[in-house]
Structure 1
Amino acid sequence: MVQFLKFVGATLVGLFLFCLIGIFILMGISSSFSSSEKPDVEENSVLMLNLSRPLAERSTEDPFEGLNLPLNNTPAKLGLLEVVQSIRNAKNDKKIKGIYINTEGVSSGYAALKEIRDALVDFKKSNKFIYAYGEYYTEGAYYLSSVADKIYLNPIGLVEFNGLYSEVPFIKGVLEKLEVKPEIFRVGEFKSAIEPLMLDKMSEANRLQVTSYLNAIYDVYLKDISASRKIDVAKLRQISDSMLVRKPEDAITHQLITNIGYEDEILEILRKDLKVDKKEKIKFITVNTYYKSIESKYYKNKIAVLFAEGDINSGKSTDESIGSETIVNELRKLRKDDKVKAIVLRINSPGGSALASDVMWREIMLTRKEKPVIASMSNVAASGGYYMAMACDTIVAQENTITGSIGIFGVLFNAENLLKNKIGVTTDRVTTGKYSDIGNPVRSMTPQERQIIQENVERGYETFTTKAAQGRKMSVENLKKIASGRVWSGSQAKENGLVDVIGGLDVAIEIAAKRAKVTEYQPKYYPVQQDFFSKLSGKSKEEALIKEQLGEETYLYYKTLQKIKNLQGVQARLPFDLVIR
C-alpha cells in the first residue's frame, strides 16, 4: 500500500510539473503573438538606448524574457541592425523627442559601436536631445556617450579613458603539462593564430601588427570624440596617456562629461524638458519595441542583405557560426529571385575552415555574374571572412574594422604521451600503406608526412593569394606584400587596396542599389531567423549558463580551449579571441 501511494504521489507531482511547464510555454506563445503585433508609439516618447545585452548583427527574440522563468537563461541579443534603424527612424519621428543612453555593460567591437555612433551624430541634426548617464563609463561606453548633449556620471563613478589594449591567452604551458604536442603548419610571417599553441608570448611580427592596427583603431576613437567634445586630438591623447581622469571631478575638468550627478537628477532634467509632471512616468520606449513600430514602404525591387556572423565551418549556420551550406543555399535562392536586384553580404567573422571559405567564395563568384554582390564588413572580416569578401564587386568597411589576415595554417595534435603517461593507454596499428594513418593523433608524424601537409598548406596559401589578387585587381606579387597573414584596420586596408569604400551597412546598401540601377527598393534580410521554439533546447542556452557561472573574463579562456577542438585541418582564421579593451 505504501509503495502504491508513492507511485500515485510521484505521478501527481509529475502531472503538476507538466502542467506548470505547459503554462509557462503557453505564456511564451501568448507573449510571442502579442509581441508580433505592431506597438503604438505614444506622443512625447524617449528612445531608450540600453546596450547592457550582448550586441549581435541582428536581435534574437525570447518571449519568456521578463517573465523570470527557469527556461529563461539566455539574454536576448540586441541587434545592431535594429539599433541603427531605430535611431535613423527616430530622427524624423515627431513622437520621439530625444534619446536616453544607459551605458551599463556596453560590450561590442568598435566598428559596430561606430555604426551606432554615426547614427547618433546624424540624429542630432534633428535638434533633438541625446542624454547619457553612467555609473561607470568603459572606453566603449564613453565612445558612444561622447555624442550626447548632457553626459552625467555618478558621483562615485569613473570614466575609463586610458587607452586600448589587446590581450592574447597562450596555452603552450597547458599543452606541455598535458603532454599534448601540436603539429603546426603555416604560411605567412604574421599568421599568428597558432602562436598560443607554440609560444608563451607574442612574436615580434605579431607584436608589430597588433601595435599597428590597435593604434589605427585608437586614432579613429580619438578623432571621433574630438569632433563631438571639441577637444584637440593631441589633448585627448595626453589625457589618455597620462591617465589624467582618475575621479569624477577630473572628467569635468578635462571636459569629457558635462555633469556629476545621480540618475534621478538627470531624469528630473529630462522631465522638465519633456514638460512631464513628477507624478507621471517618462514615456521610454526600448529599441526592440520601437523597431517593431517602424513602417517600411513596400517596393517590388529588393536589396537582399545576407548576414554571415561567427566562425566559418562546413554545414549549417547557427547564431554564432557561419555554415557554408547555409550561405550557399541562400545565395542560390537569391540569385534566382527576380525581385532581388542586388545582394549585400554582411560579414562579421574572424574566419575558420579554409575549405568552407572557398566553397562560399565560389558561390559568390557565380552570383555576381548575374547581379551585384557588395561586401559590408562589421567588427571583423579577416582571413576566411576576407576570403568571402574578396569575391564581391565592392568591399565596404568601417575605419576601425579588423580585416586582412590573408594566410592559412594547419594544426594536428599528438596525444600519444597524454594517453600513455597520464592514463596508461597505448595503441598499436596495422596499415595497408605508408601513409594510411597520416594525421593519426596518437603517434608522432614522420618528416615525410610533415612535408606532405606543409605542401598542402602552401598550396592553399597560393590559392588564397591568387584569388585575392584577382578580386582586388592587382598582381599576386603586390598582393603578397600586404598578405602573409597580416591583420589591418579598415583604414589601413583601404590604403592598401584591400577595401574600396569606408562606411557602414547603409552605405553598402546604397552602393548595391546604384549598381543594380534601382532608385526605389526595399531591403530584405536573410537568412530568415529561426523562431525561439526551434532554439529553446539549443546550445546557446548551455553556453549562456556556462558564461553566467564562469564570468566574462574566465569564459574567454574557456572558449579558447573549446576552439582548439575545431582547429583540426587547414584553417583561414584570426587568433583565437582577438579582444580589444
Structure 2
Amino acid sequence: MRDFIKYTLATITGIILASFLLFFLSTIVFFGLVSSTETEVVIRDNSVLRLKLNGELKDRVLSDDTFSFLLGKDQINYGLEDILDAINKATTNEQIKGIYIEAGNLSTSYSSLWEIREALSKFKEAGKFIISYADHYTQGLYYLASVSNKVILNPQGMIFWAGLSSNPIYFKDLLSKIGVEMQVFKVGTYKSAVEPYISNEMSNENKEQLTALLDNTWKNVLTSVSEDRKISVDSLNYLADQMLMFQPTETLLTNHVVDTLLYKTEVEALINSHLGVDTDKKMNYVSVNDMAKFKQKTPKDRSGNLLAVYYASGEIIDEAPAYSMQASDYIIGNKMVKELKKIEEDKHIKAVVLRVNSPGGSAYASEQIWKAVKDLKKKKPVIVSMGDYAASGGYYISSAADTILATPTTLTGSIGIFGMYPNTKEITQKIGIHIGSVKTNQFSDFGVIGRGLDKEEQALMQAHVNRGYDLFLARCAEGRKTTPNEIHKVAEGRVWTGEMAKELNLVDNLGGLEAAIQLAAEKAEIDAYTLMSYPEKESLLTTLLKSSNSSVIKAIIKQEPLFQIYNPIHLINHLKSGNLLQARLPLELNIK
C-alpha cells in the first residue's frame, strides 16, 4: 500500500510538472505568434516621445521583447541603438513635437549618456522641446536631463550630485589567510588588474591613472551641464561639495539646478501647455518600441547597398560558454571571426561599423579577431565606434580599423598583457590534501594543483607574457601607422579617456555611433543604403533553450554591491580554465 501511494504521488507530480512545462512553452509560442503579427504604428499629431530610463542600458538588446513584462513594467527592454534611432526619427517627424524623459535609476556609463545627449541636442536644435522629470535624479541622469528645456523635480525629491570616485577592493590578506598566493606575470607599469590579489592598497601608478581618468571625465560632465544650465563650473563644484541630495529642494531652485518642482501627476499639464493644447487633454505618447515599429515615409532604397553595424559587446573569450542567458554578454572569438568573414564576402555590404564595447579578455581570441578585421578592411571600409569602453583586448581588435571614433568619456587604451597563477600549496596542506607526482618530462606536471610555479616555469610564463605584449604593440603600431616604441610610451597598461586618447593618436576623432555610420558611408562613397545590424537577434525561445540556471544566478550576483566581488572571482575562473594570458581592463575601475 505504501509503495502504491508513493508511485501514485510521483505520477501526479510528474503530470503537474509536464503540464506546467507544456503551458509555459505554449505561452511562448502564442506570444511569439502575436508579436510576429504586430500592426504598424501610426503617430498622431501633437505626439510626444516618452523615454523611460530605468534598469540596465546595453548597446543592443539581442533577444526579442515578447516577455519583457517579466523584467518589471518599468525596466527598459531596448538598447542604446533603439533610443538613438527613436530620437533621430522623432527629430524629423512632424507629428512629434517634444520628448518627455522619465528619469529613473538607469545603470549605464557617461559615454552612453553622452551619445543620447548629442541626439537630444540635435532634437532641440530642430525647434522641439524636451521636458524631464524625476522623483530622484542620479548624477548621470541629471547630466542627461540638463540638456532639457525644463528640468522638473518632485517637491520631495533629491538630486545626487557629488562628483566621481573609484574604490577598488583588495584581497591579498584574504588570500593569505586561506593559504593562496597569486603568482603574477605582467608587462606594463599601469596594468593594475592584478593589484587586488598581490597588494592591500593602491599603487602610486594606479592612483595617478585613476585621478587623471576621474578628473577628465568630471571635467566633461561639468562643462556640458554648465553650458546647458548656465551655471558656472565653479558653482557646480561648490554644489557637489555641499552634498546636494541632502539640501532643501528650494536650494535647487535658487541655484537653477532645476526649473520647477512638480508632482508627477502635474507634469502632463505642463507638457500640454508646450503643445499649445488644453492642459487636461490626454497625451499622445509614443514609446521607443513604437518608434522601432514605425515606418518612415521616405523614398524606398533601391540601391541594394547595405551598411553593416557589428556590435562587439562584452568580454572577449575563445569559445562560447556552456551557459549564457544573454548572447551579448560575450565576444566569442571563433564566432565573431566567422561572422566577419561572411560580411567580408557579402558584395552588397559596402562598409562596416564595428561597435566595440569591451573591457578585453583573452589575448588569443583578440589576435584572431584582429586578423579578421584586417582582412575585412582589405575589401571594404571599417570604422570603429568605441562605446563605454574599448580597452586592452577591446583596443586590440579596434586597432586594425581604417578609422577609430570614441566618445570623450570612453575608457580605452590599457595596452598591456598579464597572467596569473594561483599557488595553492598552503591551502591544500591546511585541509589535508596530499598530491603525488610521476612524470616523464621536466614540465609534465605544469599546472597541477597543490604547488606553485618554480623559477624555471615562472621564467617561461614571463617570457610568454613579454611576447604577447610585443605582439600587442606591433599590432597597434601597424594600425596607428607608427612604431612599437611610440605605442609603448602610451601603453604599459594605462587607461585613457577618449578625449585623452585622441591627443595621444590612439583614436582619430571624437564621436558616437551615428557619426561612425555617416563616416562609413562617406568612405564607401554611398548616399543611399540600408542599415543592417549584426549579430542577428534571437527569439526568446532560442535564448531560453540556450540558457541555464547558472545564467540567472550570474545576473543576480552582477548587481551592486556583489559585482565588485563577482568580477575578481570571474577572472580567476577564466585563468583556471586555461586562459592564462589576459588583455583586460583593470578590474578595479569602478567609477561612481
Counterpart-to-counterpart distance in 2, 1:577 and 1:286: 36
**Alpha-carbon distance in 2 for matches of 1:382, 1:14:** 47
Q: CA deviation at 1:239?
A: 2.5
Describe the SS at the equivalent of 2:379. Answer: coil
Match of 1:301 in 2: 305
User: Is the CA contact 2:361–2:582 (under 8 Å) kept in the aligned structure 1?
Assistant: yes
Instruction: Spell out the pairing of 1:394-409 with structure 2 (5 A cutoff).
Output: 394-409=403-418
**The one of 381, 393, 400 aligned to 1:384:** 393
| Corresponding residue of 2:488 | 480
Residue matched to 1:188: 188
In structure 1, the partner of 2:371 is 362
Instruction: Look up the SS of the partner of 1:530 in the other structure.
Output: coil
> How far does residue 228 in structure 1 lie from its aligned partner after superposition?
1.0
CA distance in 1, matches of 2:491, 2:168: 21
Give 3-state SS (helix, strand or coil) of 1:49's partner.
strand
Could you tell me whether the CA contact under 8 Å between 1:130 and 1:149 is conserved in 2? yes
- Given that 1:412 and 1:441 are in contact with CA atoms closer than 8 Å, whether structure 2 keeps it comes out as no
SS state at 2:477 partner: helix
Separation in 2, partners of 1:577, 1:78: 28
Residue deviations 1:49-85 (CA, integer Å, cap 9, x gap):
112021111124231222x59xx99966421111011
Distance 1:137 1:544 in 2: 29
The 3-state SS of whatever aligns with 2:374 is helix
> Where does residue 211 of structure 2 map in the other structure?
211
**Deviation at residue 166 of structure 1 after TM alignment:** 1.7
Matching residue of 2:46: 44
Per the TM alignment, residue 131 of structure 1 is displaced from its structure 2 partner at its CA by: 0.8
Of 557, 570, 579, 2:581 maps to 570
| Partner Cα distance (2:92, 2:398) in 1 | 34
Tell me how far 1:322 sits from its aligned partner: 0.4
Gaps of 5+ in 1: none
* CA shift for structure 1 position 427: 1.1
Are the equivalent residues in 2 in contact too, given 1:547–1:555 (CA < 8 A)? no
> How far apart, CA to CA, are the structure 2 residues paired with 1:276 and 1:74?
28
Kept in 2: contact 1:56–1:77 (CA 8 A): no
User: Kindly tell me: are residues 275 and 77 of structure 1, through their superposed partners in 2, closer, same or farther at Cα, counting changes over 3 Å?
Assistant: same
3-state DSSP class of the match of 2:154? Answer: strand
- CA gap of 1:55–1:450, structure 2 versus 1, over 3 A, is same
Which of 170-179 and 79-88 deviates more?
Answer: 170-179
- On the 8 A contact 2:89/2:291 being kept in 1, the answer is no
Give yes or no for contact 2:49–2:96 (8 Å, CA) kept in 1.
Answer: yes
Contact (CA 8 Å) 2:407, 2:512: kept in 1 or not?
yes
SS in 1 for 2:105: coil
| Pairwise CA distance, 1:358 | 0.6
Which range moved further: 41-50 or 535-544?
535-544
Q: Which moved more, 1:287-296 or 1:487-496?
A: 287-296
2:405 aligned counterpart, secondary structure: strand
Letter of the 1:287 counterpart: V
Q: Which residue of 2 aligns with 1:498?
A: 506
Other-structure match for 2:324: none
Aligned length: 576
Residue number in structure 1 paired with 2:451:
443
Confirm or deny: 8 A CA contact 1:48 1:99 kept in the other structure. Answer: yes
Conserved 8 A contact 1:335-1:367: yes
Post-superposition shift, 1:544? 4.5
Q: Which amino acid aligns with 1:310?
A: G
**CA distance 1:447–1:242, change in 2 (3 Å):** same
Higher mean displacement: 42-51 or 194-203: 42-51
Pick aligned residue for 1:20 from 23, 28, 37:
23
Secondary structure of 1:565's match? helix
Quote how far apart the aligned CAs of 1:29 are: 2.0
TM-score by length of 1: 0.93
Assess if the C-alpha contact under 8 Å between 2:422 and 2:452 holds in 1. Answer: no
Partner of 2:162: 162
Name structure 2 gaps, 5 residues minimum: 322-326
Q: 1:542 to 1:33 in 2, by over 3 A?
A: farther
Q: Deviation at 1:167?
A: 2.1
In structure 2, the residue matched to 1:247 is 248
Q: Structure 2: how far apart are the matches of 1:55 and 1:529? A: 17
Distance (Å, rounded) in 2 between the aligned partners of 1:145 and 1:163: 17
Residue number in structure 1 paired with 2:347: 338
Q: What is residue 271 of structure 2 aligned with on the other side? A: 270
User: Aligned pair 1:120/2:120, yes or no?
Assistant: yes
1:414-468 per-position Cα deviation (integer Å, ceiling 9, x unaligned): 223323313x222111111111122333212111110010011011111111221
Out of 52, 57, 60, the position equivalent to 1:58 is 60
Instruction: Say if 1:62 and 1:76, in contact at 8 Å, map to a contact too.
Output: no
SS where residue 91 of structure 1 aligns?
Answer: helix
Change (3 A) 1:12 1:501: closer
